[in-house]
Structure 1
Amino acid sequence: MLYERLQCCDELSLLDLSKMEVPGLRINFTDPNLWVAALCIGFNPLFWNVVARWEYRTHKLSRLFGSPYIGCYVLAVMIFFLGIYRDGRYRLALQSQPKSPELFSNWILWSGYVSILVGSMLVLTSFFTLGVTGTFLGDYFGILLDEKVTSFPFNIMDNPMYWGSTMNFFGVALIQASHAGLLLTLWVAVSYKIVIMFEGPFTEAIYSKKTKLKSNNHAD
């Protein structure tokens, strides 16, 4: 009996777990490109939130570069190039992953293009509405907007830049017919949702403090 159990264990040890797949999903979870892309997706929003809050509490970047505006521009450049690198790793991950035949359809392909078109429109219009400092956490540097932005696309949804970016990832995943891309897109959405949960209240607190100071100045 003991011999049979040992023999069974020996047979299990010969299994190649790297060949195992989740039923219905064509994703190679042993592909390092997949995990690097996931790491980049999660790291970027963590990075800019940590740096921005550090700047808000210490003003180190503003002092280092002699101006809050220059400090904000430097952070903007860092965020921009981190985004370029993340997007490159995402595309590389999709190229190294198996295609999903069930996504080989014209309507899915065109849905991907439409998703990218709408997503890019949300991202670009958000940027032109907010400007560089409004987009890249200028409020953490003390560069505050005079009033809340209510023009398009902020009049149709909150955080349009985040959701527009998510739509771009989704569109690329559809065009590439990639289950891995869809999974990474879900991770993008979760990452942004977590960021919004932290950024939203913190930004509101910054502007609430500004309003309170303005009220006190008027009272004096």
Structure 2
Amino acid sequence: MKLAVREALLGFKRAPVLSVLSITTIAFSLFAFGLFSLVALNIRNTLRSVESRVEIRAFIADSTSPESIALAMGDVGAYKEVARVEYVSPEQALERARKELGEFKDVFEAGFLPASIDIRLRDGYRDPATVKQIAGRVKQLAMVEDVRFGEEWVQKLYSIRNVATAAGIILGLAFAAVSIIVIGATIRMAVMARSREISIMRLVGATDGFIRRPFLIEGS
């Protein structure tokens, strides 16, 4: 192994221009692949963060008793797709609306917004079909007057996610293939530049593994 390292260092000295060009090419290929991977990871994390906000909001009739609400929340919370169920009183809904729509806060009055149950789904159950199915089941509850879950927004979110995933896989494979081709071509160029030396090494009985080692070290 020490001899292989020494031969690799000698190879750098014999052809410094080729060695620098090879190192620069490989470094750029690996940098581009690493940069793409980082961007893809950030996009994936951003989409997951947005996806985690997908929720179903069921508006409750004013005449519903606290006991009925608690019973319904227990039933909905038992769904395997549901991660969390939260009751939002009219007062809490009013406060939330004033915070989110500060410029229109004077428009909202006490009792203007109904109570609701906010339903968060587990990871893996936030696709449009599942969200719509759960919303339909919740709407069947007698005390529920209306259900909202931003169907159009959920559809767009998943369309973006699917496109980003497909593009990430295709580009990732392309970058990996280009990196492998560039590294292989670099080693091939080094071998061609030292073909005479390789012939002499074979004449004196050097094995293929012994001959390859210095080139692999140079390529890495």
What TM-score, normalized to structure 1? 0.30
* Greater share of residues in strand: 2
Q: Which has the higher contact order (CA 8 A, sep 6+)?
A: 2
* Greater per-residue helix proportion: 1
- Larger-gyration structure (1/2): 2
Normalized against structure 2, the TM-score is what?
A: 0.30
